[in-house]
Structure 1
């Protein structure tokens, strides 16, 4: 396959919504691994000069959104590690729940860490694992890893995809001319002209090399626990995950909200962009006109994903501009995908009030989020989650809405269209598919003592 770094760049562009803190690409042509990473958006990190320094026939890329380890250059991915079996580059989507234990164990064996991420723990565990082939080493490592991990791994002569046995985070496979592509979402395949073949199965290892593609079962799949937040917010609406087009699920959420929480109003607004589809669907079902009364500056990062609360608060003010002439004196139904910390929503409602809205009826496309996520969504600690601390009437008062309706759990599951037992609903129910320590710290590995030097 020609110019793999450029293809990877455009695929990362399509996945920019999954992380905006840093970006990176690693390539190989069979005689070494080249890597380029940097802080910021894909377009900030890469230019023609950077891509020209990434030759080869195999590439992996990563957009980072920190769920373990702080947002800094040292924690960018792909991560390159080297052991007796050779050198690999690893990119990881997800979050381990036993990273500290494995980090300590590997440190005592003499493995050195240059980052504070669980992704480097995974990479070092793979090179530390016994086996004659990378597949055997990865399989051995998978038996030790606990948590969510979708991985793409680059060796000197192969591309490997790995998905955890619960299938918490998405990973799909596509075909491009004489090559193969792995990506978090199918929208990335579309952007580079790749045919979607299938999703990588939970517990599966996919190995792609010059001989073609083969599949191996790394570990026995557990109960499926695909993150429901992919459908609510995280994934792009033009992606297909779990066999379901995201656009259709968000339409269904808006329709169901109109059925569960009808109200007399003059217009419906979806907070752009993640609730626009649900807003249009709510309007269609309710018969209330949909209006774009709140405009978004699309060049400001997603406020939920930015890691620093101070930046997050600034981001809300930079992000939205209400249309006063359209909204003044009107009764509004406002749809949003979720209320997590309760940082954004009161400010959006205050903006709309200032623009002259007479009534504001808030409708939310998810049930109340009462429990933190430990599997790859940086939601907050439990005490930061507004629904963990306040009742729904208290939240309504706090955000300044005239009424507040959250989509029911039953309504959410029906909207997604997959059996309840195949989804991770832990942030809504507290029922985690994997046992977790309820106050895990995303900066935990930064607090560990200095590692012992690597054996010479």
Structure 2
């Protein structure tokens, strides 16, 4: 998921803005950029395709009146060059666009869907009226949470399905937008609100946001935000994400209990689900596998680099594992490389039995809304019986959360579960057209 952060106004929170943006940087980003526009007409535009931990936001941000739009890129379309890094900036720094999600429009490998939308936004600028922006939003389907600077206004919008999150908060003299609540909390925002699905707003530091509808709400929030992508400290539906993941683990335990000596989370993403799972069964939890804090996420690493990265990613407590019946708990299985590696290492360390429980349904279909779930042929899990899947991973047992259990645990009226069920919240013909063009992402 892309990280979006936008600030408009003047505030004493300038020193905290860089910390807030860094909170959004750990989701497999392959690029970072920002555009800083001051009220005095100065403009700074910075983009890099290999983002460092120190992002270097100008010290004047937050201390003088202006607009900052920042974006951590997570690529699913387009190439891997700096030219694909957002925000995209037009002539004279108007318009400026940051986008999270994926539009259902034809793209080439050297042009992302966000770039094509940006070209339409540039045309929209010439009309200089809000109706043109609304019409542009209505004309595009797919997943989009966007923030843009257009004709001297900071605009924010979210698609009618509500697939990707977007929040707005206020500071004295400023208004702030982010794809996660944690960034807003870091800078001290009050009145944090989720932008409703199918709505947009022109944001002004001097007044509370007024959301305007541009399309009938057809809620289909992405379940994968709860399962993996959203930071555990953030909130979705007003509830901390770590709590949602606890619920997923507890529901998994009710559906697929296990006879094990210890529950071992797969770090770090399996920790919250493992806590709920262990508590529900009354079993001890042990962090016998630790993650190397310097290792990168491997979710979007290409096949050539993934295996070597996984091998450097984990450390093991042999004394806690040897001779025990161990149950690994993880958030999901997509390509399966991590699960295969951990099973092999645990056997090498003398574990008596290796079970696995996954706090998500089986990933069997690609995603078309901004998450790099690859071609169906690249996915590790099929509709084989549990015994067959267990044998394929050399596990004593392997079980997944059911789709009905997912809905029960998350308690949302509608979720996008397309990657589990192939039922997506958009017109089926558009999905099939995009499925024919689906290629593995470069990242």
**What's the TM-score, normalizing by structure 2?**
0.89
SS at match of 1:439: helix
Counterpart of 1:146 in structure 2 is: 141
CA distance in 2, matches of 1:406, 1:340: 12
Counterpart of 2:421 in structure 1 is: 429
CA distance in 2, matches of 1:173, 1:442: 34
CA distance in 2, matches of 1:214, 1:284: 42
Greater CA deviation, 74-83 or 182-191?
74-83
Greater CA deviation, 220-229 or 367-376?
220-229
SS at match of 1:314: helix
Aligned length: 425
Note the 1:223-238 alignment, pairs <5 A.
223-238=218-233
Counterpart of 2:315 in structure 1 is: 321
2:75 is matched with which residue: 59, 62, 66? 66
CA distance in 2, matches of 1:325, 1:151: 49
Deviations 1:136-176 (A, max 9, x none): 33212112211101011124633221111111000011112
Change (3 A) 1:443 1:295: closer
Q: Does 1:264 align with 2:273?
A: no
1:92 is matched with which residue: 84, 99, 103? 99
Deviations 1:185-216 (A, max 9, x none): 11111222222521001121121235535434
Note the 1:50-449 alignment, pairs <5 A.
51-52=58-59, 57-82=66-91, 87-100=94-107, 116-129=111-124, 132-133=127-128, 135-155=130-150, 157-209=152-204, 211-217=206-212, 219-306=214-301, 308-388=302-382, 390-419=384-413, 422-434=414-426, 435=428, 436=431, 437=433, 438-441=435-438
Give the deviation of 1:265 after TM superposition: 1.1
SS at match of 1:395: helix
CA distance in 1, matches of 2:195, 2:99: 15
Give the deviation of 1:28 after TM superposition: 0.9
CA distance in 2, matches of 1:56, 1:119: 28
Cα pair 2:374 2:439 within 8 Å, conserved: no
Deviations 1:289-315 (A, max 9, x none): 100100101221211133x22222222
Give the deviation of 1:181 after TM superposition: 0.9
CA distance in 2, matches of 1:2, 1:272: 38
Give the deviation of 1:57 after TM superposition: 1.5
Query: Is there any run of 5+ residues in structure 1 with no aligned partner, and where?
Result: 104-113, 446-456
CA distance in 2, matches of 1:361, 1:315: 23
Cα pair 2:125 2:150 within 8 Å, conserved: no
**What's the TM-score, normalizing by structure 1?**
0.87
The structure 1 segments of at least 4 consecutive aligned residues displaced by more than 6 Å after TM superposition are: none
CA distance in 1, matches of 2:129, 2:409: 40
CA distance in 1, matches of 2:15, 2:149: 16
Greater CA deviation, 268-277 or 64-73?
64-73
Give the deviation of 1:123 after TM superposition: 1.3
Give the deviation of 1:72 after TM superposition: 2.3
Counterpart of 2:27 in structure 1 is: 18
Deviations 1:355-407 (A, max 9, x none): 22111110001010111000011011111112247554333222221001101
Deviations 1:56-111 (A, max 9, x none): 5111111111011132222111111249xx721111110111143xx8xxxxxxxx
Q: Does 1:35 align with 2:45?
A: yes
CA distance in 2, matches of 1:309, 1:290: 32
SS at match of 1:17: coil
Change (3 A) 1:32 1:215: farther
Change (3 A) 1:17 1:439: farther
Change (3 A) 1:193 1:5: closer
